Structures are given as structure tokens and as C-alpha cells.
Amino acid sequence: MLDPPLQQPSAMIPAPSPAYVDVVLPRRLHQPFTYIIPSELKGRVAIGRSVVVPFGSQDLHGLVIAVHHRLPPGAPQKGLKAIRSLSAASADHLLTADQIGLSHWVAERYAAPWGQCIKLVLPPVDRVGASQTRYMATAQGLATNASVEPLGETETELLARLRRRPQGIMATTLLKGDKSRTTLALQALIQKGLVSRCEERAAQKSVRPANQQSQLSGGGLPMESVEAVENLELPHAEAMSWSAVLEQALAKKTFVSLLLEGSHCTRQWCLAQAVRATLRLGRQALILTGDVEHASRLA
């Protein structure tokens, strides 16, 4: 009796990489936008990753909130643009699914743009050392008469300007004036291999020592001066009454619900004081707010 033929193990076929992503942009928009993952970035784009994408006549930093192997429902079948590049951020600064979900909850709860609420969950280092775009002429671009293709007037002017600055020019400087025309010219020069774009970290802002920023309140609780918190001008009575209320609340070491009444500046100042006093005691503080415009003051 013959033994059945041995079956050859099937070759392991790697799963295909996602082809599309949904990106939330830092604008007053309530919906994400779908982009194509270019071949050179496939396998490198993940949920929570910051990417550079074209939006109108400019490039923006956005956050990937979903990946798709097929065109997602509702996305146009034509006219989709591709991701430009990955943002200059290390892997340990990627946002988790929980952080993305929290930002979406805040946006839904307070009817705020999702792209603005993303800023509320970004690590502080990303806000302080935000990336900046620099344009530089490539070796081909620095060579005389390197381009075999004719250049437009704006392209010629930009290339000549970049040749005079071998170290490159920051996008904030280069895009002054007619931004739309300059952006199109830069994109054409990049496609021709004459100009390259790179992302780099901005210099971190210096932070004053804590002993220069804070003072002890009458009850011994570390409190910052009125001038130290965004130079907010508050009535003396409001500042002193909040100091006593906050000290009593923190001393209980349990959940305490407080109602802040007063002007917008008063409420914001009191909230900032509460956060800083909590952190000084070695505790953690989580702020949920729909006031995206002024949330950075609480960072």
C-alpha cells in the first residue's frame, strides 16, 4: 500500500500593505481626508503617525487616523492626492488609538473641529519642537544648466535663489508673497530633481526655572503669580479666593467637583493654577476642553 504523497507547505504570502489613509488636518474641519500611500512609503505609514500631505496650494502636517487596503466608502475614485512624506517624529511620539479616540470624543462632545482637538493630546515635545520645512537645491540643481527641461520664470527665480543659499531656505521665508505660484514652482522643481524638501525640528523654547515663576501662597500651596500665567490681569479678590479653594480641594486627595464662575480669563487662570499645583504634588492632570484656541496656554 502506497503512502499518500506528502503535501508541500504553502509559501507564506505577505499581507498586502494598506493603500489609502484617512488624515485629520489641523484646520477648522470636522472630517478627515483620504490620501494615497505612495509606493516608497508603503509599509511605513501607521495609525497615529504624522504625515505631510498636500491640501490646496500648501503642504500640511496631518495625523493618520485610519488605513485602508481598498478605497474607503465615500472617497472619490479620481483626484486623490498622495502623501508627500512622513513627518520628522520618532516612533515613541506616535499617538495611540486611545489618544486618537479621546480627541475624537472631545470634538464630538464640544462640537469642535477634530483637527484642532488633535492638538490637545499631542506630547508637549511635539508642540515645543515642531518640525519646520526647509527647501534646498540638490547637487543637480546647483550645477550650471543642469536641467534639460525648460524652466518657467518663477522656477528659474526660485532655483537661482536657492543656489545662492546652499544651506537651504525655510518654507516660512520662501513662501512669502504669492504662495500659490511659489508652491507650484517648488513642486515642479522637486519633480525635476533640482530641489529637495526636508523636515527638521525647531529649536526648543527656553523655560525659566520654577523658582523664578512661582511663589508660595499664604497657605503654603505653590501658586504662580498672576503675571506669570499669560499676563492675565485678574482682580485681587478672585486670585486669593481661588488659592484657598484649591488648597482645600487638593488636601482631600479625593475627587472634588468645583464650579468656576467669572470671566473667561478668570476661569482660564484658575484652571492653569489648578493644573500646575496638581503636578507639583506629583499627581497627574487630564484636561478635557472644547476651548481649542486657548488650550496651548495650559500645556
Instruction: Kindly list the structural domains of the chain, giving each domain's residue range(s) and its CATH number in brackets, ordered by start.
Output: 20-128 (3.40.1440.60), 131-201 (1.10.10), 210-298 (no CATH)
Spatial contact of 22 and 64, defined as CB atoms under 8 Å apart: yes
Q: Which residue has the higher pLDDT, 280 or 88?
A: 280
Task: Give the mean pLDDT of 111-134.
Answer: 71
For residue 226, is pLDDT > 50? no
Range name among 7-11, 237-241, 274-278 with the lowest pLDDT average: 7-11
Number of other residues whose CB lies within 10 A of the CB of residue 26: 19
Q: Which residue has the higher pLDDT, 19 or 293?
A: 19
Task: Give the mean pLDDT of 21-32.
Answer: 88
Kindly state the cell numbers that stand for 9. Answer: 507547505
Q: Which residue has the higher pLDDT, 130 or 210?
A: 130
What dihedral do alpha carbons 26, 70, 199, 162 form, nearest 10°? -100
Check residue 36 and give its pLDDT. Answer: 93
Check residue 148 and give its pLDDT. Answer: 60
The alpha carbon of residue 20 and the mean position of all alpha carbons in its chain are separated, in whole angstroms, by 20
What phi and psi values does residue 215 have, to the nearest 5 degrees? -145, 160
Q: Which residue has the cell 500648501?
A: 58
CA angle 243/244/249 to nearest 5° reads: 100
For the stretch 137-176, pLDDT in tens is: 888 888 866 556 788 888 898 999 999 888 888 888 888 7
pLDDT range class, residue 9, cuts 50, 70, 90: low
The alpha carbon of residue 97 and the mean position of all alpha carbons in its chain are separated, in whole angstroms, by 16
Q: Which residue has the higher pLDDT, 42 or 5?
A: 42
Nearest Cα to Cα of residue 274 among 254, 296, 247, 241: 247
Q: Which residue has the higher pLDDT, 234 or 222?
A: 234
Radius of gyration of the chain from its Cα atoms, rounded to whole angstroms: 26
Check residue 237 and give its pLDDT. Answer: 56
What phi and psi values does residue 52 have, to the nearest 5 degrees? -105, 125
pLDDT range class, residue 233, cuts 50, 70, 90: very low
Task: Give the mean pLDDT of 33-49.
Answer: 90
- pTM tops 0.85: no
Report the DSSP beta bridge partners of residue 34: 22
For residue 90, is pLDDT > 50? no
Single-letter code of the amino acid located at 75: A
Q: Which residue has the higher pLDDT, 54 or 181?
A: 54
| Average pLDDT value over all residues in the chain | 75
SS3 64: strand
Task: Give the mean pLDDT of 29-39.
Answer: 90
The pairing of strands 20-24 and 214-216 is unpaired
The alpha carbon of residue 254 and the mean position of all alpha carbons in its chain are separated, in whole angstroms, by 34
Q: How far is it, in rounded angstroms, from Cα 248 to Cα 253?
A: 10
The secondary structure element, H or E, covering residue 236 is helix 236-252
Spatial contact of 88 and 129, defined as CB atoms under 8 Å apart: no
Spatial contact of 191 and 170, defined as CB atoms under 8 Å apart: no
What dihedral do alpha carbons 186, 187, 193, 195 form, nearest 10°? 30
Q: Which residue has the higher pLDDT, 11 or 214?
A: 11
Q: Which residue has the higher pLDDT, 101 or 57?
A: 101
For residue 215, is pLDDT > 50? no
Task: Give the mean pLDDT of 130-143.
Answer: 82
Check residue 232 and give its pLDDT. Answer: 44
